[in-house]
Amino acid sequence: MNAEFAIAPLLPKHWDAVREIYLEGIASKNATFETIAPDWGGWDYDHFPCARLVALLDGEVVGWAALSPVSRRWVYRGVAEVSIYISERARGRGYGRTLMTRLVEESEKAEIWTLQAGIFPENTASIALHERAGFRIVGKRERIGYDSGQWRDIVFMERRSQVAGVGPV
């Protein structure tokens, strides 16, 4: 029997599963500098209401993606930071690529003209995923964060839309 895969809007009812996947990323020490996952209210406040997605396999959340503003200033209203997480048990099956493709589509519908991501250099799978989605490496932010007794670098990536923000907004 074939598993049914779908991308759907991330809703409050998905939060427990989304949070568990986020906690997996935190525990890996190669997905985020965060050390705790917020409650739904904190997460909801920090992310744009648009382009919040879950990847569902037979109705179970196996991944999620969302956008957060890089600044609350009006001139940056079309610039967002990408968060994308795939459950450990679902990695390497193309779910991340499908989720990222849909995230880009949704971001452009919302007039987001630049997506950016800060990725640990050791997270080569995430860097490759972003490159396949049209992101480019802008640079490396060296010793940008101090975590667990060591300095960490971030590969800074961005994707400029060819659809959103190409003219006056």
Q: Which class is domain 5-160?
A: alpha beta
Q: What is the pLDDT of residues 55-104, one digit of tens each?
A: 999 999 999 999 999 999 999 999 999 999 999 999 989 999 999 999 99
Q: What is the pLDDT at residue 167? A: 67
Q: With a threshold of 0.85, does the pTM exceed it? A: yes
Mean pLDDT confidence for 24-40 = 91
List the one residue out of 58, 155, 70, 72 whose CA is nearest residue 115.
Answer: 70
CA distance 96 to 98: 5
CA distance 77 to 84: 20
Is the pLDDT at 48 greater than 80? The verdict is yes
Task: Tell me the domain boundaries of the chain.
Answer: 5-160
Cβ within 8 Å of residue 4, ≥6 positions away:
56, 57, 58, 59
CA distance 129 to 97: 6
List the one residue out of 152, 104, 106 whose CA is nearest residue 129.
Answer: 104
Q: What is the pLDDT at residue 148? A: 84
Share above pLDDT 70 across residues of the chain, in percent, rounded to a whole number: 97
CA distance 71 to 107: 16
Q: Mean pLDDT, the chain, as a whole number?
A: 94
Is the pLDDT at 1 greater than 60? The verdict is no
